[in-house]
Structure 1
Amino acid sequence: MSEGNSAVEEIVEKVESLSTENEPVNDVIDANDANASSSSDKKKKKKKRNKNKKPAQVFENSIGNIYRGVYPEGEFQDYNLKRTTDEEIRADFNLEEAEKTWNKFRKGAEIHRRARKYARENMKPGMTMIEIVEMIENQVREMSGTNDSLKGGMGFPTGVSLNHCAAHYTPNTGDKTVLNYDDVMKVDFGVHVDGYIIDCAFTHTFNDKYDPLLKAVKEATNTGIKTAGIDVRLTDIGEAVEEVMESHEIELDGKIYPIKCIRNLNGHTILNRKIHGGKSIPIVKNGDPTKLEENETIAIETFGSTGKGYVNHGGECSHYMKSWEPPTNANIRLDRARKLMDTIDKNFGTLPFCRRYLDRIGEEKYLLALNSLVKEGLLTEHPPLVDIKGCYTAQYEHTVLLQPTRKEVVSRGDDY
């Protein structure tokens, strides 16, 4: 009898210890709690105050405070092709580890949904492009709940490409461009959590005459998402997108324009801290037999145009990124360039950045050094991409997780 009681007591003690270990930990520690715990230590040992030490910043709107670490799932869609066996589904796949990764994507997606909702409600004609991008980026940084740009925040600079410019335009410091009522603006920004990037974009207009263009591109993107899946050939996705996109047309000022796919812009796979993961997902039929694979993360993005449907570089460069495979014989001659490279490593790593981000962290007179790093192949530059002047382009994009039994459109929202 006594042996049975001691065994029961032992089990109870183990259960209580486990429940204590598994108590949830808040993403953000309240500053008041930290002060309360430190006050008792002052009685034991009096420490010298550091007059220059700034109080810890409290992120009141941090997404972590709202969801306590578990974030809402995106939209799930069944694959078009039936997987063959349960063994195939589970092969070489650690579900527990994958769930942790998916949860980080979901946190980034929730931040993206809230930031773009705030932007859509507050963007107005007459605002400068700098005001618009800083409004979005400040929202992302606040909700991410960290000042460490390598742990979370902007996955890449906010693109606000206008009209015939389809992608890769964000204003540099001093840019006085103003948003007008008749502009067609592509809002493309990324959010990352521990390097897991949400890549998601929409097109914003004030004049409803552009609605047919936006509808065509949105439908094409949704078609690409529906078609994509494990073992699906890339060319098949492009063919499906092209068929839907180019079935649309738009009338502008009494003239009918066919809506064309911008054939040299693509979706892509996404790797940790690498926005373009190696596979390009076309938006036209291109004959590429490469197949998508289980556990890949993909960005399905489509671009429509009333112009040629082909883009070239044009305008001042603002986007840069550290090279994933830099040349082994690179020689950084300028001391200023070496210091700038250290700054880039510490603040961005391999995540894309822009010149405004360098200004924000206090870098000055860096353009010569920046260009020398590009010349040596240590950085890549990504100038704006433009179709012919006078035309209009539109973009929609979502991030999709190719899970073993279904795909999750993780960035899906009520807006698109």
Structure 2
Amino acid sequence: MSDDEAKEERELDLTSPDVVTKYKTAAEILNKALQLVVSECKPKAKVVDICEKGDAFIREQTGSVYKNAKKKIERGVAFPTCISVNNTVCHFSPLASDETTLVENDMVKIDMGCHIDGFIAVVAHTHVLQEGPVTGRAADVIAAANTAAEVALRLVRPGRKNKDVTEAIQKVAAAYDCKIVEGVLSHQLKQFVIDGNKVILNVSNPETRVDDAEFEENEVYAIDIVTSTGDGKPKLLDEKQTTIYKRAVDKNYHLKMKSSRFIFSEINQRFPIMPFTARVLEEKRARLGLVECVNHELLQPYPVLHEKPGEHTTTFQC
């Protein structure tokens, strides 16, 4: 390994002050973006407008840092702003033509991410559109997620194992008579990698298994906790609601449709690594082209999942 390669390898580690600074800068920008999005969540507000404001703020703020770096530094949105309401669990970031609006008493889940030089900060937060304290089952499900997140943070320490976290957060949810939502994973974060191979499975079941892993010093994790008053088994109701995708860099296929090739070329140029929303693409052409890309596994979709109507779901990510 050359001196330059060795230096670059060291810079990927949290022992590097430069890496820590980039993480902190991304987190500071993201927290300000979250505050903006929360302030925009009001009755009659269009969900797509809020999502666009969140993404635009991140692009603007990240664009103003590291402008004079010696080498070009990629920066911007690491995960598009999502506004998932009530029994909608996650990943709702609609297209510009969508007319979904918020109403009084909605339970709003906000999910978004930011990166500086590929060092990623992500956050999820639950906000209820009402005056005064939240009570009843809505309060239970929020408290379950918040407490489970705090417990998980204490357990993600060198020497502890991922299964320790899985067991603990399920006990917390049960104490509030709630369920941890199945299919949710907490991933290790690396430079330009939002879904690292080391993961924490939030719910153990025979259908979903992950490798046992031990946390090590200088690793970074995004702890994603989603709780529900329902059975915790969300479903995909409408594939057309899916708008967030990520390039599957290990997959290749010669696309047949012209619209697919055009869209895929644009994705490779603008979003080669990080998740993106189809909202930033030309809508009519994207609808046609994305289907073939997904069918041949060139893109990984982030589906919009739903609990049963009337159930409450909430999320916290840290």
- 1:216/1:331 Cα in 2 relative to 1: closer, same or farther (>3 Å)? same
**Rounded Cα–Cα distance in structure 2 between residues aligned with 1:119 and 1:335:** 37
Asked if 1 retains the 8 angstrom alpha-carbon contact of 2:140 and 2:178, the reply is: no
Distance in 1, matches of 2:260 and 2:56, equals 28
Measured after TM superposition, the shift of residue 93 of structure 1 is: 6.3
1:315-330 maps to which residues of 2 (within 5 A)? Answer: 315=238, 316-327=241-252, 330=253
| Cα pair distance change 1:154/1:96, threshold 3 Å | closer
Specify the alignment match of 1:121 in structure 2.
39
Name the residue aligned to 1:157.
Answer: 80
**Pick aligned residue for 1:281 from 200, 214, 230:** 200
Tell me which stretches of 4 or more aligned residues in structure 1 moved more than 6 Å: 92-97, 147-150
* DSSP-derived class of the 2:27 partner: helix
Change (3 A) 1:150 1:98: closer
- Say yes or no: does 1:145 pair with 2:68: no
Q: Where does residue 271 of structure 2 map in the other structure?
A: 348
> What is the Cα deviation at residue 313 of structure 1?
1.9
Q: Is the 8 A contact 2:225 2:315 kept in 1?
A: yes
TM-score, normalization by structure 1: 0.66
Aligned residue among 122, 141, 146 for 1:218: 146
Query: Which letter does structure 2 place at the counterpart of 1:110?
Result: E
- Specify the alignment match of 1:77 in structure 2: none
How big is each residue's C-alpha offset from its partner over 1:96-131, in whole Å with a ceiling of 9 and x where there is no partner?
863211211111100011111222233211101012
The answer on 1:372 being equivalent to 2:292 is: yes
Residues 222-271 of structure 1: CA deviation (Å, up to 9, x unaligned):
100011112211110111111122211xxxxxxxxx21111321211122
Residue by residue over 1:16-74, the C-alpha shift from the partner in whole angstroms, topping out at 9 and shown as x without a partner, is xxxxxxxxxxxxxxxxxxxxxxxxxxxxxxxxxxxxxxxxxxxxxxxxxxxxxxxxxxx
Which whole-Å CA distance do the structure 1 matches of 2:293 and 2:197 have between them? 23
Q: Provide the C-alpha distance between the structure 1 equivalents of 2:10 and 2:158, rounded to a whole number of angstroms.
A: 14
- Matching of residue 244 in structure 1 with residue 172 in structure 2: yes
Identical amino acids, percent of aligned pairs:
26
Per-residue CA deviations over 1:289-333 (Å, capped at 9, x if unaligned) read 321223321111111101111122223211111003204xx2222
| Alpha-carbon distance in structure 2 between the residues aligned to 1:345 and 1:205 | 38
User: Greater shift after overlay, 94-103 or 315-324?
Assistant: 94-103
In structure 2, how many angstroms separate the alpha carbons of the residues matched to 1:211 and 1:325?
A: 43
Q: Residue 369 of structure 1 aligns to a residue in which SS?
A: helix
1:384-404 Cα distance to aligned partner (Å, 9 max, x none): 022222211000011xxxxxx
TM-score normalized by structure 2? 0.85
Q: Specify the code of the residue in structure 1 equivalent to 2:251.
A: P
| In the alignment, structure 1 residue 393 sits paired with structure 2 residue 313 | yes
Q: Specify the SS of the correspondent of 1:246.
A: helix
Larger radius of gyration: 1
For 2:194, give the aligned amino acid. Answer: I
Q: Does the CA contact (< 8 Å) of 2:178 and 2:228 recur in 1?
A: yes
SS at match of 2:35: helix
Unaligned runs of 5+ in 2: 1-8
For residue 188 of structure 2, what is the aligned residue in structure 1? Answer: 269
Report how far residue 383 of structure 1 moved. 1.4
8 Å Cα contact 1:260-1:308 kept in structure 2: yes
Secondary structure of 1:223 counterpart? helix
Residues 157-212 of structure 1: CA distance to partner in whole angstroms, max 9, x if unpaired?
11111111111111112111111112111100001111211111100102323333
RMSD between aligned alpha carbons? 2.4
| Pairs within 5 Å for 1:93-104 | 98-104=16-22
